[in-house]
Amino acid sequence: MVDVQPLEDRVQGGVRHVSLRIRIDTGPQYRIAEVRILNVNPGGKLVFPSERLRHLIPLGPGDIVNVEKAGQGVEAIDQLYASRGYIDLQATPDFQIDGQQNRISLFVMLDQGQQYRVGKIVALGFGPAGLSMLKSKIKSGDIFDWNAVRDFYSGYQWLMPARASVSDDRVTKNAKTGTVDLLLDFRACPKPAGPLSPAESAGRHQTIAQPKNQLRTAEPFD
């Protein structure tokens, strides 16, 4: 609890001066009692062993509660599921507080959703060599892995127009068919007037991630 009280408020030489008194009550320090991974669907089976998921959360019994670390663990679980096509995963942390023992139990509730596979792949404004390489790395029918798309951009920038970015692609999710269609459109990529600056050149080799929660839910494109 933080309490802020003004003590002095004066103007001198056209400048306003304010003095404050800040009182802080830190309260008790809480530690982790336990960490568990739970399926929101009673009796449902987790896609990954609970032990593997548990190890992704860098907190254990006796550790000081750290919300940032808890968030990192939930994000790691989210990315693991996304790598296997479970892009609808909802991972929700739930904290149960024991005020008498100053302990907090962390339960990560998982709604796993369905698994998605790659549907249509369309690349516009891409040369034959690039298109051939793309289809060798990402194939229709494969389990959808957004990392594979990002890795393609990261590893094959030399095949793409300048300033091509994975964040510009159209990714369409179809829950009815359990597929994800990809449209890579390079036609609108701006052409540099001259050589790229060092910062721009370096930027072409960076991986730009598109959060999976931004994938569109719509009918597949033609």
Domains and CATH numbers, the chain: 31-111 (3.10.20.310), 117-217 (no CATH)
Query: How far apart, in whole angstroms, are the C-alpha atoms of residue 13 and residue 135?
Result: 71
Q: Do residues 90 and 39 lie in contact, with contact meaning Cβ atoms separated by under 8 Å? A: no
Give me 184's structure tokens: 């890579």
Give the pLDDT confidence score for residue 189 in this predicted structure: 62
- 157 closest CA partner among 169, 168, 145, 165: 165
Burial state string for 65-92 with b = 16 or more CB within 10 A and e = fewer than 16:
beeebbeebbebbbebbbeebbbbbebe
Q: What's the CA gap between 41 and 43, in Å, rounded?
A: 6
Q: What is the pLDDT of residue 199?
A: 41
> Tens of pLDDT along the chain (222 residues)?
999 998 888 888 889 999 999 999 999 999 999 999 999 998 889 999 999 999 999 999 999 999 999 999 999 999 999 999 999 999 999 999 999 999 999 999 999 999 999 999 888 888 788 788 888 888 999 999 988 888 888 887 777 777 777 776 788 999 999 999 988 887 766 544 444 444 443 343 333 344 454 455 555 555
pTM for the complete prediction?
0.73
Residue 194 is predicted with a pLDDT of: 41
- Cβ contact 104:96 at 8 Å: yes
What angle is formed at CA 211 by the lines to CA 205 and CA 217, rounded to 5 degrees?
125
| Distance (Å, whole) CA 155 – CA 150 | 9
Q: Whole-angstrom Cα distance, residue 148 to residue 142?
A: 11
